[in-house]
A = this chain, B = another copy of it.
């Protein structure tokens, strides 16, 4: 079962809407709100959520306190900025969601708690959680907004259910230097120019599509520097034998 997302004292409706949208990108639909500043429902939240309004916001439940919102939850994570609180296990989104998947598989319900914009969760809120999630960001520039923090949580929740490498890159032979992008571009140019001169791109209305296919072909191949030389040489030789 997917984690519940709990927003504690969220301020701007737009941010609630953006968080709902971030959730639904990764299939999360259960939202609980604790004392939203501007009441509920909130038209600005609905406007921002677009398609997530009906699937997430319309079903959101509102509570007066975090204790109430934790009803039915067995394992709760509080999200905080780096270094805020060190008396509990501190997770990255990755390690938290790995644990959350294990807990969920045992039938335990998981929630992730997010604090208000800027101020973040108060210590009393964090005290109710079993563990902390801190996104590892540049310590000199930590500027994730609420929806982005929710996004990374959803992304990590979903990552295991999705193949890491749906269509893996073919590998170059070990030890051989890869061709640079510019070498491959020059190779593509060379072939395109000569094939054009040879009348290959015919009929004219199909030429742009044919050229595009050919560019795609070269750039997706894991060519070595040696391969590129070979292919240039082959082309030159063909022209020498059969060309003008």
**In the complex, what residue of chain B is closest to A158 when comparing beta carbons?**
B136
Decide yes or no whether A116 CB sits under 8 A from chain B.
no
**Please, how many angstroms separate the alpha-carbon atoms of A89 and B106 in the complex?**
36
Decide yes or no whether A144 CB sits under 8 A from chain B.
yes
**Please, how many angstroms separate the alpha-carbon atoms of A87 and B217 in the complex?**
8
- Centre residue among A21, A89, A94, A164 by max chain B CB count within 10 A: A89
Q: Is the CB of B25 within 8 A of A138?
A: yes
**Please, how many angstroms separate the alpha-carbon atoms of A70 and B155 in the complex?**
29
Selected interface stretch from A5-13, A33-41, A178-186, A194-202? A178-186
Contacts A95-B164, A138-B25 known; A143 to B50 CB distance under 8 Å? yes
Decide yes or no whether A244 CB sits under 8 A from chain B.
no
Q: Is the CB of B128 within 8 A of A185?
A: yes
Chain A 15-30 residues near chain B, CB threshold 8 A: 21-22, 24-27
Which residues from chain B contact A89 at a C-beta distance below 8 Å? 167-170, 220
Number of A residues with CB within 8 Å of any CB on chain B:
75
**In the complex, what residue of chain B is closest to A134 when comparing beta carbons?**
B166
Taking the closest CB of chain B, its distance from the CB of A132, in whole angstroms, is 9
Contacts A95-B168, A167-B86 known; A51 to B143 CB distance under 8 Å? yes
- Residues of A bordering B, CB below 8 Å: 21-22, 24-27, 50-52, 55, 67, 70, 73-76, 85-92, 94-95, 99, 103, 106, 108, 123-124, 126-131, 135-138, 141-144, 147-148, 151-152, 155, 158-159, 162-170, 178, 180-182, 184-185, 212-213, 215-217, 219-220
A-B contact pairs, 13 of them (CB 8 A): A24-B138, A24-B141, A25-B138, A70-B182, A85-B216, A92-B159, A92-B163, A92-B165, A99-B169, A103-B178, A128-B185, A128-B215, A144-B151
